[in-house]
């Protein structure tokens, strides 16, 4: 007996709970699995005065961190990401689906305006939750970090720099993540329509479209990510100019003065290489969890009969 095709995108709109739960599980899976690559990206982006903390390539960073600091060092800070990624991604995907529906993105096929605006709104909400965890993660990732636990890092940063330390990079983060998410979501939705015009549930489509969308968005926003990294790790720097940086303008001036235009491309390779599989995994996990959480869906023939 031939099984009917499942028109995945034509199913009734999911409940907010399903979208948020699927998003939380996808976020944890995405960030945890590829954390070592994120560690290398952070190390390559941070401006350091110590030659031992300057890396020439991803392979150089991986080899030196593993041999000089131990393999476990590549995972330091992962607990902060896991703690923040669950609730942040729940808000992220929940907000995206609600906003896309409100903007009419589910009514008449692909709409760049609907998906881009919904993605931008989603990242504003989720980054407000994730930013403090991201700051702690990067403070634990930098060369010479003395922090061993998330709790001790939170306490130390708060005591030394106050609550503002967890949000000093938030405007810069939004300047990066809003365009990143707009590009990512609009590219993903467009590629999904191109690769899977029948709109049946297709894991291969989600992996491919998600990976390409993540790579494109990551490359476009790398300069902003470098500025964000400088601001989030300023408290761990021994450079007084970096420690006194207060925002995007200061970060941009410091990077340009020291390394020129090429300074804004540092870490692009690991950023793109980490975002492609992480976005592929995120979309695969999100769409897969959402599909499983729905239970048995309605088939196309049953819907047509009901119309």
pLDDT tens-digit readout, 200-241: 889 999 999 999 999 999 999 999 889 988 888 888 787 888
Question: Which ranges of the chain have pLDDT less than 50?
Answer: 1-13, 296-307
Residues 157, 178: Cα–Cα separation, whole Å? 26
Q: 274 and 215 in contact (C-beta within 8 Å)?
A: no
pTM (two decimals): 0.70
For residue 296, the model assigns a pLDDT of 44
**Nearest Cα to 229, choosing from 180, 273, 263, 181?**
263
Six token digits for residue 135: 């700051």
Supply the pLDDT for residue 182.
87
Specify the pLDDT at position 49: 60
φ, ψ of residue 120 to 5 degrees: the values are -65, -45
Return the pLDDT at 55.
87
Three-class SS of residue 48? coil
Helices (H) and strands (E) in the chain, counts: 12, 0
Helix 112-141 with 203-232: angle, nearest 10 deg: 50
From CA 61, how far away is CA 226, in angstroms rounded?
A: 17
What's the pLDDT score for residue 247? 82
pLDDT at 108: 67
């Amino acid at each position: 007996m031939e099984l009917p095709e499942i028109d995945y995108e034509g199913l009734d709109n999911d409940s907010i709970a399903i979208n948020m739960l699927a998003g939380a599980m996808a976020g944890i899976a995405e960030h945890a699995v590829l954390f070592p690559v994120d560690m290398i990206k952070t190390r390559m982006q941070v401006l350091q005065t110590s030659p031992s903390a300057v890396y020439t390539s991803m392979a150089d960073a991986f080899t030196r961190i593993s041999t000089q600091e131990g393999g476990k060092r590549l995972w330091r800070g992962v607990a902060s990401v896991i703690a923040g990624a669950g609730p942040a991604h729940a808000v992220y995907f929940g907000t995206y689906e609600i906003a896309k529906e409100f903007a009419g993105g589910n009514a008449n096929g692909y709409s760049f305006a609907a998906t881009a605006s919904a993605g931008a709104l989603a990242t504003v909400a989720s980054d407000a939750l994730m930013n403090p965890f991201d700051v702690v993660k990067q403070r634990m990732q930098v060369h010479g970090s003395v922090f061993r636990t998330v709790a001790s890092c939170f306490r130390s940063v708060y005591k030394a720099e106050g609550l503002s330390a967890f949000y000093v990079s938030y405007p810069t983060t939004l300047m990066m993540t809003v365009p990143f998410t707009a590009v990512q979501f609009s590219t993903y939705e467009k590629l999904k329509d191109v690769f899977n015009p029948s709109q049946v549930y297709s894991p291969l489509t989600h992996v491919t479209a998600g990976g390409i969308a993540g790579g494109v968005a990551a490359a476009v926003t790398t300069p902003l990510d470098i500025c964000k990294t400088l601001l989030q790790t300023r408290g761990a720097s021994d450079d007084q100019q970096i420690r006194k940086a207060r925002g995007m303008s200061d970060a941009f001036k410091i990077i340009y003065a020291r390394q020129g235009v090429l300074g804004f491309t540092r870490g692009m390779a690991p950023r793109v290489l980490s975002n492609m599989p992480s976005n592929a995994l995120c979309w695969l996990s999100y769409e897969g969890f959402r599909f499983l959480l729905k239970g048995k869906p309605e088939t196309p023939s049953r819907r047509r009969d009901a119309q």
